[in-house]
């Protein structure tokens, strides 16, 4: 496959929405342990709103246009930290995609990197802070090292994100509401890192 087009981008977003809906309770339980307890509900509301707007896009909309729609919808419908963070991620990803009709491996890495950098700039978190950055950063590094095959890039990113999410369990949080818990946050997986892994696994599964 030479590249991933707007139709794939739609399938990816639809897959995210389905996975978030299926795992809403799990994400909420993770967030209840160390956060506000609304991560799953908020993401589900946001991606269901996205589904309601996808049909308004032109059938041949480029990947960047789809990503921008996701960004603006999440920012306007998702509460808590997830809306601004994921909204920024998709917006920066859309900007990196530009008006390209297809995303090749290099473009995918640019999109993922821009998304990660947007989250870092917005949330001021670093690897090791027990946030979604702990899934995004290894995902970007793995994608950049994966070569020229788009499926390989997305598979590498998804696997690294899953490992990064699991690695947040023993960490003490330094950002967000979980940081208020101190040592008590250790032993719990970060919900944002887990939803990041879900999002990137959906990308790999639909490529």
Cα–Cα distance measured from residue 18 to residue 119, given in angstroms and rounded to the nearest whole number? 23
> Which pLDDT belongs to residue 177?
53
**What does the pLDDT average to over 110-130?**
93
Q: Per-residue pLDDT for 187 more than 60? A: no
- The CATH number of the domain covering residues in 4-206: 1.25.40.340
Cα–Cα distance measured from residue 73 to residue 47, given in angstroms and rounded to the nearest whole number? 8
Handedness of CA 115, 27, 10, 5 (dihedral sign): positive
pLDDT in tens, 45-97: 999 999 999 989 999 999 999 999 999 999 999 877 889 999 999 999 999 99
- The CA–CA distances, whole Å, from 196 to 11, 86, 186 equal 17, 9, 19
Q: For residue 1, name the pLDDT band (cuts at 50, 70, 90).
A: very low
**What does the pLDDT average to over 158-187?**
73
**Better-scored residue on pLDDT, 174 or 83:** 83
pLDDT in tens, 121-160: 998 888 988 899 999 999 999 999 999 999 999 999 999 9
> Which pLDDT belongs to residue 37?
79
Closest residue by Cα to residue 17 from 42, 55, 43: 43
Residue-range domain boundaries for the chain: 4-206
Among residues of the chain, what percentage have pLDDT more than 70? 91
Predicted model pTM: 0.93
Closest residue by Cα to residue 1 from 150, 106, 129: 150
> Which pLDDT belongs to residue 2?
65
> Which pLDDT belongs to residue 34?
67
Q: For residue 175, name the pLDDT band (cuts at 50, 70, 90).
A: low
């Amino acid at each position: 496959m030479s590249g991933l087009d707007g139709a794939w981008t739609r399938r990816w977003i639809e897959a995210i929405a389905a996975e978030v809906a299926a795992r809403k309770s799990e994400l909420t339980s993770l967030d209840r342990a160390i956060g506000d307890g609304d991560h799953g509900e908020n993401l589900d509301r946001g991606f269901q709103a996205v589904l309601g707007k996808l049909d308004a896009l032109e059938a041949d909309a480029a990947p960047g246009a789809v990503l921008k729609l996701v960004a603006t919808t999440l920012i306007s419908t998702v509460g808590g930290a997830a809306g601004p963070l994921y909204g920024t991620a998709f917006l920066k990803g859309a900007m990196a995609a530009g008006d390209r009709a297809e995303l090749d491996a290099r473009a995918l890495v640019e999109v993922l990197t821009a998304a990660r950098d947007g989250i870092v700039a917005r949330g001021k978190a670093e690897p090791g802070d027990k946030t979604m950055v702990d899934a995004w950063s290894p995902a970007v590094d793995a994608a950049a090292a994966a070569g020229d095959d788009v499926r390989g890039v997305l598979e590498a990113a998804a696997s690294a994100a899953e490992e990064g999410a699991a690695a947040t369990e023993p960490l003490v949080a330094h950002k967000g509401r979980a940081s208020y818990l101190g040592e008590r946050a250790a032993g719990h997986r970060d919900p944002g890192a887990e939803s990041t892994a879900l999002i990137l696994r959906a990308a790999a599964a639909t490529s």
